[in-house]
């Protein structure tokens, strides 16, 4: 039997569920046996050893100073940007042609299914074939006319 898309999708989803439920089942079995790896005893340490303790006033003062510095930097940056000509930045995304569905390197996008790729290839080959026929037909007529003129 042929492998349908539905059966492939179901198989994929079952594999994902197997992973997810496997973890839960392992935890359940360990709990039944009395093996608890999830319980970790915290050592009694003071808060000062774990994190730096600060007053709210200190944080407010620092944030006010930081905001003022950021405003000055943004003003300087905008002035510099206005002086220089801005070039469009490339974000690294491929640009796809809507008609051919290809990017600038001639590759199809990863999200495009193989069936649609085949369909696009057939369509492009058909159009190329028709163009060749038109050119060939046009050239033969021109050659015939040219030959008749030369003979006469």
> Per-residue confidence of the chain (152 residues) as pLDDT tens digits?
678 999 999 999 999 999 999 989 988 888 888 876 655 555 556 666 777 777 788 877 887 787 777 778 787 777 776 665 555 566 778 888 888 888 888 899 999 999 999 999 999 999 989 999 888 877 655 555 555 444 44
Domain-located, residue 35? no
Has residue 90 been placed in a domain? no
Beta carbons of 103 and 96 less than 8 angstroms apart: yes
Distances (CA, A) of 35 to 19, 20, 30, 39, 43: 21, 20, 5, 10, 21
pLDDT on residue 10: 95
Hey, how many other C-beta atoms are within 10 angstroms of the C-beta on 43?
6
Q: What is the pLDDT of residue 41?
A: 53
> Who's near 52: CB < 8 A, 6+ residues apart?
none
Calpha distance 68→14 (Å, rounded): 55
The reply to whether the predicted model has a pTM over 0.85 is no
* Structural domain containing residue 147: 112-152
Q: Is residue 107 part of a domain?
A: no
Residues 124-132: contacts with CB under 8 Å, at least 24 apart: 124/100
Of 97, 77, 76, nearest to 86 (Cα)? 77
| 94 neighbors 104 (Cβ within 8 angstroms) | yes
Give the separation between CA 115 and CA 112, rounded to whole angstroms.
Answer: 8
Let me know if residue 117 belongs to a domain.
yes
Is 26 contained in some domain? no
Give me the pLDDT at residue 150, please: 44
How many domains is the chain built from? 1
């Amino acid at each position: 039997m042929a492998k349908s898309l539905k059966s492939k999708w179901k198989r994929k989803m079952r594999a994902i569920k197997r992973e997810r439920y496997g973890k839960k089942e392992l935890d359940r079995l360990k709990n039944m046996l009395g093996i608890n790896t999830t319980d970790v005893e915290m050592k009694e340490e003071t808060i000062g050893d774990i994190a730096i303790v600060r007053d709210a006033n200190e944080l407010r003062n620092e944030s006010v100073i930081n905001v003022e510095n950021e405003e000055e930097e943004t003003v300087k940056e905008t002035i510099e940007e206005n002086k220089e000509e801005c070039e469009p930045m490339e974000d690294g995304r491929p640009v796809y042609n809507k008609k051919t569905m290809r990017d600038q390197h001639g590759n199809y996008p990863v999200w495009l299914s193989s069936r649609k790729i085949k369909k696009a290839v057939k369509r492009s080959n058909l159009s190329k074939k028709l163009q060749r026929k038109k050119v060939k037909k046009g050239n033969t007529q021109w050659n015939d006319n040219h030959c008749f003129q030369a003979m006469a």
